[in-house]
Amino acid sequence: MVAPRVWLITGVSSGFGIELARIAARRGDHVLAASRNPEKLAFRECEDNITFVRLNHNEPLPQIKAAVQEILEVHGTIDFVVNNAAYVQTGMLEETTPEESLQEFQANTLGPLNLYRALLPHLREKGSGTLVTIGSMAAWYPMPGCNLYNASKAALRWLGMGLAGEVSQFGIRHCLVEPGFFRTELLNPSANIAKTDNTSRLPAYAELNAITDANFAAFHGTQLGNHVKGAEVIYDVVTSSGVAAGRELPPFLPLGSDASEEIAKSASQTITAVEEWRQISALSDFPKGQ
């Protein structure tokens, strides 16, 4: 009898984390649902094949390594690692504090990287494994009032893509998933949005802040993407099953029609800018042959 595949998934309190855990469990895999406070997760009694483990990727690397070692001692192996936990820090860049900036990058960029650092020795030793980085289409463009989040996801994008090239020699795969807007709790003002304190807001940005706040409030709950369907697509693509049966794991996956559209638009604008300035840019070169 073949042992079930084992998933370690972060950010399982809502959204893609919950749904991907449920889908993997229902399809016979075993899920290690990672959380800072696993005892608080409401769906902990609802699914077979799901085990809740304590892991906080915002802790220093030695603590993360210790948590991973404890998980491996109990469960033996991990086949799929899904870095999904994230939150949105809003506010104009001038208004946000250095502490808020660091916290955003710690949670969305450096924490996921440290989790991979903690797990890679195990995956290298066994010569296989799949890393799944949940990024965002926001990595492809700026957005007033949300630029810390967008920048953290842009950094995560290239860390993930770069890591893929470094670890493929060990039989370890990587896929960057870049979702568009889905009806998760990510934009819920009472959940995963951290707003700049009103006392830090500058009058010069009052109009832009009002527009940003209104847009977030109106957008939450009306997003185009269905997170249950999105999680099903992620599972199929990562396991080369279902709608992705027989297909190789892509280096990155735009998830949702809005993600495909926005990423393609950003790439096209980049190419246009490069071509517009190509000749002037080349003036900075040494003459060929020198």
Mean pLDDT by 10 residues, the chain (290 residues): 89 88 95 85 69 95 98 97 93 93 97 99 98 98 95 98 98 98 70 66 91 81 84 98 98 97 98 98 93
Among 3.30.70.360, 3.40.50.720, 3.80.30.20, 3.40.630.10, what is the CATH number of 6-257? 3.40.50.720
Residue 106 vs residues 34, 109, 152, 194: alpha-carbon distances, Å: 17, 6, 9, 14
Distance (Å, whole) CA 62 – CA 68: 10
Measure the CA dihedral 53/168/87/36, to 10°: 10
The residue written with tokens 């699914």 in the block is: 47
Domain boundaries, the chain: 6-257
The residue type of 8 is L
Q: What is the pLDDT of residue 186?
A: 62
How far is residue 268's CA from residue 175's CA, in Å, rounded to a whole number?
23
| pLDDT score, position 213 | 83
pLDDT confidence of residue 13 = 83
Other Cβ atoms closer than 10 A to 97: 13
Instruction: Give Cβ neighbours of residue 155 (< 8 Å, ≥ 6 apart).
Output: 105, 109
pLDDT at 212: 86
Find tokens 């649902």 and name the residue. 33
Q: Which amino acid is at 157?
A: R
Mapping DSSP to helix (H, G, I), strand (E, B) and coil, where does residue 89 land?
strand
